[in-house]
């Protein structure tokens, strides 16, 4: 294999260099539990073996007439094939568009048309659905499987998406779609430089995140349609000769087994994971692992220290977005990390930061405001996304005034360390007080009856907005309340209503003991599931719709009279 045609500024060229240096070392590890879920073989792939399979795919694509600039959809989840196809396509200058398997025809049709896909590589069971979605979108699409058995010559289709202007660094490497929490997903165009910069940034962090070349094993349950997995995890290991251990998803019951059997030295996490892992009873084997640090964001400040004390490794909180990449990433990778304060570190010299108050001026020390970022120096967009595909207005608005407007509310303390408050659109304004949905969710998750929760605002005629918590309750807790309710209620309908009301009051009391009274939920809605994005984050727009429906149909429990200031004292 050689890097001819790929250039020095591509992901494939970087991989080619690592193959020469780390050929016999493992690049990918498929654990038995992941292999079973995907119906594939559990095994490890060395750098050299991965390179050989990439070359086979590269040649198949080349023979089909694939040209630089072509976009190829990959519905391959976290399978080894996802990595193989990505590298093979990058070698030819093509762009990959990860397709989340939970997307259905309407979403797929939008993506196929918007991205102008020429090829989609999908599981056999989804082929007909992708073809139908392409037909509805008016897009001619070749649908094939991971072995490319259905790949036909592209002909004119290969030129449908023009290659990016400029050299290899500027060329589009991937198109990632945002979660679409406030409308249609936006397509973030990500260059080769975006990915190379991400890997270099991670590899150079040092301190608590020091990487030893040729030795690390990084376990991630995050999807490859997420910038954390595709850019940070994969590129850091690729550049340093490490091994990526991708899980199909996060499974609390088998998590520690996966950590131990993979010999993971690093784990990546989302904020909900530590809370779920702490929910299991402590055990003698809690510290039997090789993990040196966890890398992620959103751990509840109230659970951060207890997780580290119990499991014996630091959770390193970081901040970034798909749009910023690591061009403006901030991370708490050195002490003091200020655990328990939602601190995500101090901006490095490579990042410039502004925090704007609600009035538009600079926020004072300790005052929450919107975070604005850019790369320091002559290239303020270095390491960032290139643009929102086909949406120059949204791109310009995001970069208004020469700064990227994140929409995140943070504050800086006296040391200049940054602390996360919430997304701007997730702040609830109740009687002149700002309430962070994330803060309330973190407290609610500590209640033993709460399995999952989403907090949002609902209209209130007196206070402007009121706090509503949509809660997925643990079955055991519901059963206990129902058993208690049967002693005083008659019909099963009355029993169910009494159990829900009793449980809601107990959950609210839990909040009132830990938070200012106005932050506690005034309404609680019990539901079977929460609306989640493909990356397991709350779909905030759908959560608002769920809350409004519960309010209008009187399906929620009204607790407003129980959260008065005098009652909380």
User: Which residues are registered as beta bridge partners of 466?
Assistant: 458
Helices 475-485 and 492-512 cross at an angle (nearest 10°) of: 120
What local confidence, expressed as pLDDT, does residue 488 receive?
57
Q: Which pairing describes strands 557-558 and 523-526: parallel, antiparallel, or unpaired?
A: antiparallel
Confidence of residue 377 (pLDDT cuts 50, 70, 90): very high
What CATH number is given to the structural domain containing 448?
3.30.300.30
Quote the CA–CA distance of 94 and 163 in Å, as a whole number: 8
More confident residue, 350 or 426: 350
Residue 532 phi, psi (nearest 5):
-120, 150
Q: Per-residue pLDDT averaged across 18-23, rounded?
A: 98
Residue 164 tokens read as 């990016």
Residue 387 in domain: no
Quote the CA–CA distance of 437 and 468 in Å, as a whole number: 9
Distance from the Cα of residue 216 to its chain's centroid: 22
Residue 312 in domain: no
Domain count, the chain: 1
Q: Which pairing describes strands 315-319 and 293-297: parallel, antiparallel, or unpaired?
A: parallel
Residue 477 in domain: yes
Query: Domain range spanning residue 464?
Result: 431-568
8 A C-beta contact, residue 168 and residue 9 = yes
Residue 372 tokens read as 């604005």
What local confidence, expressed as pLDDT, does residue 163 receive?
45
Alpha helix locations (H) across 2-78?
11-22, 32-38, 47-63
Q: What is the CB neighbour count within 10 angstroms for residue 189? A: 19
Residue 552 in domain: yes
8 A C-beta contact, residue 379 and residue 390 = no
Specify the pTM.
0.82
pLDDT in tens, 408-461: 999 999 999 999 998 787 888 787 677 888 888 988 998 999 999 999 999 888
Residue 453 in domain: yes
**Is the pLDDT score of 490 beyond 60?**
no
pLDDT in tens, 275-296: 889 989 999 999 999 999 999 9
Residue 160 in domain: no
**Residue whose structure tokens are 């520690």:** 256
- What region, left, alpha or beta, does residue 116 occupy, with left being phi > 0 and alpha being psi -120 to 50 degrees? left
What local confidence, expressed as pLDDT, does residue 534 receive?
67
Residue 514 in domain: yes
pLDDT in tens, 159-169: 444 444 458 99
Q: Per-residue pLDDT averaged across 253-267, rounded?
A: 97
Residue 122 in domain: no
Residue 146 tokens read as 């991971």
């Amino acid at each position: 294999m050689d890097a001819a045609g790929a250039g020095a500024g591509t992901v494939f060229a970087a991989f080619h260099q690592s193959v020469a240096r780390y050929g016999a070392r493992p690049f990918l590890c498929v654990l038995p539990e992941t292999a079973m879920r995907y119906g594939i073989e559990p095994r490890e792939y060395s750098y050299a073996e991965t390179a050989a399979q990439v070359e086979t795919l590269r040649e198949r694509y080349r023979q089909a007439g694939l040209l630089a600039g072509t976009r190829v959809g990959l519905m391959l989840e976290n399978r080894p094939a996802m990595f193989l196809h990505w590298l093979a396509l990058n070698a030819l200058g093509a762009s990959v568009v990860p397709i989340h398997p939970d997307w259905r025809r309407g979403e797929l049709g939008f993506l196929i048309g918007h991205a102008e896909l020429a090829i989609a590589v999908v599981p056999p069971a989804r082929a007909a659905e992708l073809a139908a979605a392409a037909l509805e979108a008016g897009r001619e699409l070749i649908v094939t499987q991971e072995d490319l058995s259905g790949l036909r010559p592209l002909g004119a289709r290969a030129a449908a998406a023009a290659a990016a202007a400029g050299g290899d660094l500027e060329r589009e490497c991937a198109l990632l779609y945002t979660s679409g929490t406030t409308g249609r997903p936006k397509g973030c165009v990500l260059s080769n430089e975006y990915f190379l910069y991400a890997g270099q940034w991670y590899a150079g962090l040092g301190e608590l995140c020091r990487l030893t070349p040729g030795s690390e094993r990084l376990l991630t349950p995050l999807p490859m349609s997420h910038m954390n997995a595709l850019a940070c995890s994969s590129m850091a290991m690729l550049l340093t000769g490490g091994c990526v251990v991708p899980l199909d998803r996060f499974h609390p019951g088998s998590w520690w087994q996966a950590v131990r059997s993979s010999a993971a030295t690093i784990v990546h996490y989302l904020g909900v994971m530590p809370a779920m892992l702490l929910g299991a009873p402590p055990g003698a084997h809690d510290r039997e692992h090789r993990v040196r640090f966890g890398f992620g964001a959103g751990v509840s400040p109230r659970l951060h220290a207890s997780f580290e004390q119990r499991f014996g490794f630091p959770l390193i909180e970081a901040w970034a977005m798909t749009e910023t990449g690591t061009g403006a990433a901030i991370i708490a990778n050195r002490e003091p990390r200020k655990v328990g304060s939602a601190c995500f570190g101090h901006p490095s010299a490579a990042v410039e930061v502004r925090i704007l108050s609600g009035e538009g001026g600079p926020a004072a020390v300790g005052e929450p405001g919107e975070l604005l970022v850019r790369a320091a120096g002559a290239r303020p967009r270095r390491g960032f996304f290139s643009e929102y595909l086909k949406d120059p207005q949204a791109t310009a608005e995001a970069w208004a005034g020469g700064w990227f407007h994140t929409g995140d509310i943070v504050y800086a303390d006296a040391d200049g360390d940054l602390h996360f408050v919430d997304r701007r659109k997730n702040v609830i304004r109740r009687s002149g007080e700002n309430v962070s949905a994330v803060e309330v969710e973190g407290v609610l998750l500590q209640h033993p009856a709460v399995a999952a929760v989403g907090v949002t605002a609902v209209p209130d005629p007196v206070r402007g907005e009121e706090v509503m918590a949509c809660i997925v309750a643990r079955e055991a807790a519901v059963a206990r309340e129902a058993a208690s309710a049967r002693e005083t209620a008659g019909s099963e309908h009355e029993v169910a209503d009494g159990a829900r009301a009793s449980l809601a009051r107990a959950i609210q009391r839990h909040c009132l003991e830990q938070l200012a009274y106005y932050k506690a939920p005034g309404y609680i809605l019990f539901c079977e599931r929460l609306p989640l994005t493909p990356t397991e984050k709350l779909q905030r727009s759908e959560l608002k719709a769920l809350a409004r429906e519960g309010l209008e149909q009187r399906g929620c429990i009204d607790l407003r009279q129980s959260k008065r200031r005098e009652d909380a004292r």
